[in-house]
Structure 1
Amino acid sequence: MEESRLERKLKLEIEKRDGMALKFVSPGKAGVPDRILMLPEGVAVFVEVKAPGKKLRPLQQKRAIELERLGFPVETVSSDAEVEGLLEKLFPLEFIK
């Protein structure tokens, strides 16, 4: 499945950069993002990984809004290019040539 491959890629790339990409499971609270990225210097980012062409379900949109209202960034990725774009956004100096 493409979604699980993208999730593995994201996890490995974050770990290469000394971060953690923890699987987020919240019993009793459906629709939470797939991963919590714990990055150097105390940065936390929630990420929903979708199969190419898929959109957030209404409950996932609601959970993303709830997290953003609390001040947490929430990202969605559904392709290799979007994973790379997120990495560039989170680690911009690594992408300067």
Structure 2
Amino acid sequence: MLEKDIEAWLNKKVKDLGGISYKFVSPNNPGVPDRIYIFPEGRIYFVELKTEIGRLSNIQKWQRQRLRDMGCRFHLVKGMSQAKEFIKELESEIHTARVSELCQTKIN
């Protein structure tokens, strides 16, 4: 499967989950992740997409570490199976956040 097909599928799923998707293009900053996914409550994910056999370049590895050092969520998604797993993780986080919000509402 091509990277653009994985990206299109992920973008649809992110939208279905209530998130927004930005293509990350940063002139003079090579190696930045492909996508920024943003969800309610300030949950932000930097996502680099690859095919099953794709690999991060050295500058992409450096950017990944730079983002993680700043406390950002960086995900490398290789192929459709990892894309599906990433969406499952997002669904779980969203569900947990909603349950927590409901509990807080009932307590207050």
Structure 1 gaps of 5+ residues are none
User: Alignment partner of 1:25: what SS?
Assistant: coil
Percent identical across equivalent pairs? 31
Whole-Å separation in 2 of the counterparts to 1:72 and 1:13? 21
After the TM superposition, list the runs of 4 or more consecutive aligned residues in structure 1 that deviate by more than 4 angstroms. none
Task: Give 2:20's aligned residue.
Answer: 20
Cα distance in 2 between the residues matched to 1:68 and 1:3? 23
RMSD: 1.4
Rg comparison, structure with higher value: 2
Whole-Å Cα distance in 2 between the matches of residues 84 and 40 of structure 1?
21
- In the superposition, the TM-score normalised over structure 1's length comes to 0.91
Q: 1:6 — aligned with what?
A: 6
Shift of 1:40: 1.8
Unpaired segments ≥5 residues, structure 2: 96-108
Q: TM-score, normalised on structure 2? A: 0.82
Tell me the CA shift for residue 47 of structure 1. 0.2
User: When you count helix as a share of all residues, which structure comes out higher?
Assistant: 2
